[in-house]
Amino acid sequence: MRVLIVESKPELSLLWASHLSRQGAQVTRADSETEAIDILRSNEIDMIILDLVLSNSSAIAVADYASYRLPEARVIFVTNTSFFSDGSIFQHIPNACAFLPTATSPEDLAALVDHYSAA
């Protein structure tokens, strides 16, 4: 399982990455739209964990590019805001599979990655 974590807070992406790595995932981290798109352009990725609110970047642009470049890659959105809390993210982003609070435990996030990667 190849996972890309796109998160502006390095301590959070490192925490998630360590849990996923212990489960056998190959994890790559990016902290911006530009870095994430560069990774997606040159790598095969199965799952993307994407913070909806990136510092000075667009998470929607990353998800759109992933949908074009890697249509089979699933996206788990995480956020600490109530934006899209009505579930409309699933209408706008075809490869979205989950929408979670940023405070979700790393163990639960890893379980969702495992679940959706098997689907």
Q: What is the pLDDT of residue 81?
A: 67
Residue-range definition of the domain harbouring residue 53: 2-118
Q: What is the pLDDT of residue 5?
A: 97
- DSSP for residue 100: E
Angle at 99 between CA 17 and CA 43, to 5 degrees: 45
pTM for this model (two decimals): 0.91
Q: What is the pLDDT of residue 55?
A: 84
In one-letter notation, the amino acid at residue 6 is V
Cα separation, 84 vs 88, whole angstroms: 6
Cα separation, 40 vs 108, whole angstroms: 25
Contact 9, 20 (CB under 8 A): no
Q: For residue 31, give the CATH number of its domain.
A: 3.40.50.2300
Contact 4, 36 (CB under 8 A): yes
Number of domains within the chain = 1
Q: What is the pLDDT of residue 66?
A: 94
Residue 4, classed as helix, strand or coil, is strand
Tell me the pLDDT of the chain (119 aa) as tens digits: 999 999 999 999 999 999 999 999 999 999 999 999 999 999 999 999 999 888 888 889 999 999 999 999 999 999 876 665 666 666 678 888 888 888 899 999 999 999 888 65
